[in-house]
Amino acid sequence: MSAPHRSGFVGIVGRPNVGKSTILNAYLGEKLAIVSPRPQTTRHRILGVLTRPDAQIMFLDSPGLHEAQHALGRYMLEVAKAVLEEADVLVVVIDATRGVTKDDERVFAQLKRVLRESQRGAGPRTALLAINKVDLVKKPKLLPLLEACAKVGVFAECIPVSALKGEQMTVLLERIIAALPEGPQWYEPQQHTDQTTTQLISEFIREQVLLATHEEVPHAIAVLVDRVTEQPRLISIDATILVERPGQKAIVIGRQGMMLKRIGQAARQQLERVLGRKIYLGLWVKVAEGWRSDERMLKQLGYTGTSSS
């Protein structure tokens, strides 16, 4: 008798900057979520679908759980909480190089509440802990961390992994699939995400701004895609990078426009790899003071609702 086919939603959650998006990209074998060293890089819920003969795993990458300080932060927090509630399996990620931080403990406390509520109705059935970035930690230091995490008492298993190096990622995936309910394929095998081309363009441009600019700029950045014209061999894109202050605009443009040119070149190369066509990319920078607290602007940028990106 053949093994049952399993399918379900797997929420990847944790505090900011622990490698959640790197785990998603590693399993999908392609770049669906942008990655940078900056906390709170992920702002939307990102769906990544992995289809195998025995299972269809619908990964939900989420913004890091944090304290919201403006309307954008509240939106991100709502998205992260919604992922906690709609997942069949939760993969909580921590950074092995940092150990269990106060922010991690707050995530664990929230997880305990969600799991208690799920016992009375719908919600996650299983929680796994992925201790990420173990390639950067000497093995003897991992043992006390594993023991401390096991004592939290809510994880079916605590698995040390390195999403960047691929260490133990197969083991984690096997545990995820085993915890999923039996079910059919919900997506066609060739469909890997529900993100639109416009959303991918916006995120890949924002990623390059995050990688190129100073500490004071990243959280104040958003990208508005003004126009996309698709031709058989060329996609022509016009986009505006929004900042909150004139000083940030000067940083993004750079001396004689060199920073903006560098950002544009890197984003164009990334988009050509992902979209498989030549890209013309025109970038502008605009000051939109207080956009992170402007509900109208947030809606225009797609930061509305919690059910999709």
pLDDT tens, per residue, the chain with 309 residues: 678 899 999 999 888 889 988 999 899 888 776 665 555 555 666 788 999 999 999 998 876 654 555 677 677 767 777 777 788 999 999 999 999 999 899 889 888 888 877 665 555 678 999 999 999 998 888 999 999 999 999 999 999 999 999 999 999 999 999 999 999 999 998 888 888 889 889 989 988 998 888 666 767 889 999 999 999 889 999 999 999 999 999 999 999 999 999 999 999 999 999 888 999 999 999 999 988 888 888 888 887 654 333
At 20, which amino acid appears? K
- The residues that bridge with 55 in the sheet, in sequence order, are 6
Burial of residue 226, with CB atoms counted within 10 A of its CB: 0-12 exposed, 13-18 middle, 19 or more buried: exposed
User: What was the pLDDT predicted at 308?
Assistant: 39
SS3 (DSSP) at 72: helix
Strand residues in 198-255 grouped as ranges (E): 222-230, 234-243
Place of tokens 């950002």: 263
> The tokens of 254 are what?
């750079």
d(CA 265, CA 267): 6
Instruction: List, by residue range, all CATH 3.30.300.20 domains of the chain.
Output: 197-300
Domain 197-300, CATH 3.30.450.70 — does that match? Answer: no
> The tokens of 256 are what?
């004689």
- DSSP string for 138-197: -HHHHHHHHHHHHTTS--SEEEE-BTTTTBTHHHHHHHHHHHSPB----S-TT------H
User: What was the pLDDT predicted at 70?
Assistant: 62
User: What was the pLDDT predicted at 1?
Assistant: 60
Strand 55-61 with 157-160, pairing? unpaired
User: What was the pLDDT predicted at 57?
Assistant: 96
Instruction: List, by residue range, all CATH 3.40.50.300 domains of the chain.
Output: 6-179
Residue 273 backbone zone (phi > 0: left; psi -120 to 50: alpha; other: beta): alpha
d(CA 38, CA 40): 6
Cα end-to-end distance, the chain, whole Å:
40
The CATH number assigned to the domain with range 6-179 reads 3.40.50.300
